């Protein structure tokens, strides 16, 4: 009798999806809709004032639908450590950034991400 263990049924094109799901499950990947300023330097300010050391933006999709001073951006953030999540939210609140957290909204999350 032989027990065969293999990951051969995984398509190489699904590797990124598998990684994404693992990061979400581990609490390292978080998605937000951020009401983002429509001006030069806004992203740089977000990086400097909101992200912690070792955190990274892995997804950024900006949607300019009007001539208003702010517009929605879908942002995926990968944290260095899952314990950094509360401090990320704290910094966003301190900077008065309007956001909607998507990870706990499964229908909206699946639609947008």
Whole-number pLDDT of residue 7: 60
**pLDDT in tens for each of the 113 residues of the chain?**
777 666 666 677 788 888 888 999 999 999 999 988 888 888 899 999 999 888 999 999 987 666 677 888 999 999 999 999 999 999 999 999 999 999 998 888 787 76
Phi, psi torsion values for 74, nearest 5 degrees: -90, 120
Whole-number pLDDT of residue 70: 80
Q: Taking the C-alpha atoms of 94, 62, 48 and 17 in order, what is their torsion angle to the nearest 10 degrees? A: 100
Distance CA 68, CA 64 (A): 9
E strands in 1-113: 29-37, 56-62, 70-78, 99-101
Strand partners, 60: 75
């Amino acid at each position: 009798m032989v027990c065969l263990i293999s990951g051969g049924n995984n398509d190489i094109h699904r590797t990124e999806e598998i990684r994404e799901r693992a990061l979400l499950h581990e609490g390292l990947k978080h998605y937000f809709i951020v009401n983002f300023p429509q001006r030069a330097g806004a992203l740089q300010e977000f990086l400097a004032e909101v992200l912690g050391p070792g955190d990274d933006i892995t997804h950024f999709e900006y949607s300019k639908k009007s001539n208003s001073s702010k517009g929605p951006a879908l942002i995926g953030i990968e944290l260095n450590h899952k314990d950094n999540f509360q401090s990320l939210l704290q910094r966003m609140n301190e900077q008065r950034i309007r956001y909607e957290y998507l990870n706990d909204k499964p229908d909206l999350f699946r639609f947008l991400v």
